[in-house]
Chains A and B, each alone.
Chain A
């Protein structure tokens, strides 16, 4: 185990005590799980009728189409958010004060708004189709967060690099694109991927504006009287797929981060995700994860 300051290294008696605690907890977990299993059984969630829909081709296709739509929204949102993030970050690093102010204002505003409010605004007030509305909302929010990631990433490159590049006579654009961004990018990659996990999770908000994504497909099946409203089976099928996708991407982010820690090329400090939602400029301290 990772050693914390809280506990001493256990002696033989403590180890025995810990083993007893461990056994008791395991029993408690198993009891809880079997109680839940019994609850599922007792309320008839395992009846064949409720699971039959998953055998039909039409329903499988419906689910796959939903999954495809989820991934489609994610792909659009990810690409556009990366582009918007780059543009906003360039704005924040600009030497022209009005540009910098505008970029800062936009970033802080979009980070402070709930994504859902933006999605609903585009969907209801601007009367846009569900997919573009969802993608717009996700792009604005994640693009602003990514802009902060890019900015801190570029800022984390050692100052001497920038000075050396300038003293070689490079222009600002050259310094950025040849020296700072390539080095910063390595350091920010894990933070970028973790932000993409947030985007992937938030595609499920499309469900609330009737975008026909994965959850929507699930709801259609769950509401079917022919199969005795198989709500719980639908949740049991959908959740592992959804959670699995996000976990895979999270693990990928961790893997990249771990690999980079061993990589001598990465000298730039690790980029923590900027504190989300803090509207006061300059008060941003690297926070933990969020959603």
Chain B
């Protein structure tokens, strides 16, 4: 218990780092993921190819390798940014591949007849997308996106090993200060549980409000 109370600011900083990393990376992943999903269902062949390659490569890349390549590789091209930004970039791109697949399968759950009916009513593409397809697809993608973002929060632990301030990295400071290593880890675990349970709770609320009734 002492470990937590005496190092509250240290833990707080770590937790904040994890939350920040998760938040920014989620935004990037959602943006990129939706864009790539749009590419993957586009009627233009080369756009589809971009989406397909993006997903196939990133889903099969070990995240550590991606961190390694981005954090240590991009500076070789003269691109020098704070490590946190690089970490957000790596995490966001990696997760975007999973978001893309979730969104794409969400769009695919909408029956083709829905789009045909909308068009035969004279709705434009924007209206079909906004009033018919999106509302239905949105309900179907809530649960998989929730689990993807939980995975993102857990994956952000890797950033700590690349000198980004986050929760897992706090064990090093505590170790140097001579605290019990087991208890340091207990509180780190609690921190991660708080983050993942919060995301899980938010998505449960979203799902009960908008999800597909089962």
Contact = CB atoms under 8 A, between A and B. Distances in A.
B146 interface: yes
A208 B200 CA distance: 28
A285 interface: yes
A129 interface: no
B180 to A, nearest CB: 9
Contact of A279 (B143, B151, B193): B193
Interface residues of B, number: 71
Contacts of A113: 154, 189, 192-193
Interface in A23-46: 25-26, 29, 39, 43, 45
A291 B63 contact: yes
A5 B112 contact: yes
Contacts of A14: 43
Interface stretch (B2-10, B44-52, B82-90): B44-52
A250 B62 contact: no
A197 interface: yes
A241 to B, nearest CB: 10
B144 A287 contact: yes
Interface residues of A, number: 65
B147 A275 contact: yes
A112 B189 CA distance: 9
Nearest to A285: B143
Given A235-B69, A288-B148, A291-B151, 8 more contacts: A5-B114, A112-B193, A114-B157, A114-B168, A200-B62, A201-B62, A207-B64, A243-B65
B11 interface: no
A235 B105 CA distance: 32
B43 A239 contact: no
B62 A202 contact: yes
A201 B212 CA distance: 33
A201 B107 contact: no
A267 B110 CA distance: 25
Given A5-B111, A6-B128, A242-B65, A208 B161 contact: yes
Which residue among A8, A203, A205, A290 has the maximum number of chain B CB atoms within 10 Å of its CB?
A: A290
B79 to A, nearest CB: 10
Nearest to A8: B119
Nearest to A275: B147
A225 interface: no
B110 A5 contact: yes
A190 to B, nearest CB: 15
Contacts of A4: 41, 107-108, 110, 112, 115
Is chain A's interface secondary structure helix, strand, loop, or mixed overall? helix
A276 interface: yes
Contacts of B94: 291
B72 A231 contact: yes
Which 8 pairs from chain A and chain B are nearest by CB? A5-B115, A277-B150, A204-B62, A246-B60, A114-B154, A204-B64, A288-B144, A114-B157
A173 interface: no
Nearest to A274: B147
Contacts of A291: 59, 63, 94-95, 98, 151, 155
A39 B60 CA distance: 25
Nearest to B142: A285
A116 B28 CA distance: 23
Contacts of B156: 114
Contacts of B68: 207, 215, 218-219, 235
B158 interface: yes
B209 interface: no
B165 interface: no
Contacts of A205: 64, 158
Interface in B179-195: 181-182, 185, 188-189, 192-193
Given A7-B43, A120-B168, A125 B182 contact: yes
